[in-house]
Structure 1
Amino acid sequence: MGTSILISILITFLVIVLVLYLIGMLPLDARAKQIARIIVIIIGIVSLLKYIAVF
């Protein structure tokens, strides 16, 4: 049980990092990139907290 939660947290973290990298590659202005990064980080933190069973 603990191993599957750890794997889920790791996969979620890797997806967050990948999405942030892809946002950095997009030809957007700096403000749009910053807003997109903040949204991705907030969604990532909420999903990680869900795995830890805070929500």
Structure 2
Amino acid sequence: MLDIHLIRKDPKAVEARLRLKEPSVDLTLVCDLDQNRRELQTKVQNLRALRNETSQKIG
């Protein structure tokens, strides 16, 4: 299994190494999905903070 941190750090190098075994490898989708997941996590954290703030105001 590949470490997502390694893919984030240097996707072109990881892709080049993977292509030695499988020429059709393309990490673009993996990078896009990872970026989307990170954005969603940020939104979730912001919503949780808002919920906590609202809960404290209510009681």
TM-score range, shorter chain: 0.3 to 0.5
Q: Which has the higher helix share?
A: 1
Instruction: Normalising by structure 2, report the TM-score.
Output: 0.44
Larger Rg: 2
Instruction: Normalising by structure 1, report the TM-score.
Output: 0.47
